[in-house]
Structure 1
Amino acid sequence: MVAIIVPENYGLAVVVALGAIPLLSFIHGTVASSLRKKANVPYPFCYATIEQCKSNPKAEQYNCAQRAHSNFLENATQTMLFILIAGLKYPNAATIIGGAWLISRVAFLYGYVYSGKLQGRGRHLGSTFWLCQGALWALTVFGFARDLINI
């Protein structure tokens, strides 16, 4: 039998990973959905065509929102996992870095969709989320690798 000792501040890491990140996912979906009708993109199509983007500026904005949401979904699951695992050993660091990841993702969404920069170039405003993901990965891997090799 394996016992997992949960540190005192672990609840904050859980709130970020299982509360705030899913909430931001919902916001991403709401933003993309709200722009779909304005872009005149019917279901089941995920993106507006080049022709639609040329004739309707809302179509490109919708594409940016859809891509921002897809990118979020591509990265959220692993980030949630890293926060939950790293939080077992480093709850404060995992919570703070997870919070920074969230702020970066909000900036990414805003920059991608609302900055007015063509082809979603405003997304670079929030590209620091990569650093946060790397830090969470490092906390997860190296934090537990030390225990495994008894350094």
Structure 2
Amino acid sequence: MVAITLPSNYGGVIAVALGAIPVLGFIHGMVTGSFRKQAKVPYPHSYATVEQCKENAKAEQFNCAQRAHANFLENAPQTMLFALVAGLKYPQLATGIAGLWVVFRSLFLYGYVYSGKPQGKGRMMGGFFWLAQGALWGLSVFGVARDLISY
């Protein structure tokens, strides 16, 4: 049997990893869904065609929202896991970095969808989420490795 002792201030880690990140995913879905209707892209199609984008600016915006949401879904699971693991050793640091990840991902969504920059280039305003995600990965690996070495 393995016992895992959680730090007393682990609640912040849980709040971000299992609260804020899923809420942001819900927001992504709402934004994407609202543009799907305006773009007139029926299910099961994932994206508007080039022709639809030329005829309807909302179709291009839908594609940007859809891609931002897909990118979020590609990165959220491991970020949640990294935050939860890193938080076992570094709860305050993990909470702060995961919180920054949420802020950067919000900027990524906003820039991608609402900036008006062509080809979704506004997403770059939130591109620093990669640094936060990498920092959480590093903290996770460092925390686990440190424990393995001490055995």
TM-score above 0.5: yes
Q: 1:82-97 counterparts in 2 under 5 A?
A: 82-97=82-97
Matched residue, 2:112: 112
Q: What count of residue pairs does the alignment treat as equivalent? A: 151
What TM-score comes out, normalization by structure 2 length? 0.98
Mapped to 1, the partners of 2:124 and 2:86 lie a distance apart of 27
- The amino acid that maps onto 2:144 is F
Deviations 1:80-113 (A, max 9, x none): 0001111011000000000000000000000000
Secondary structure of 1:149's counterpart equals: helix
Matched residue, 2:48: 48
C-alpha root-mean-square deviation of aligned residues, in Å?
0.9
- The amino acid that maps onto 2:105 is R
Mapped to 2, the partners of 1:35 and 1:27 lie a distance apart of 13
Mapped to 2, the partners of 1:123 and 1:77 lie a distance apart of 20
Instruction: List, as ranges, runs of 4+ consecutive aligned residues in structure 1 with deviation greater than 4 Å.
Output: none
Mapped to 2, the partners of 1:111 and 1:130 lie a distance apart of 15
Mapped to 2, the partners of 1:103 and 1:117 lie a distance apart of 20
Q: 1:1-150 counterparts in 2 under 5 A?
A: 1-150=1-150
Q: Which runs of 5+ in 1 are unaligned?
A: none
- The amino acid that maps onto 1:40 is K
Secondary structure of 2:150's counterpart equals: coil
Secondary structure of 2:43's counterpart equals: coil
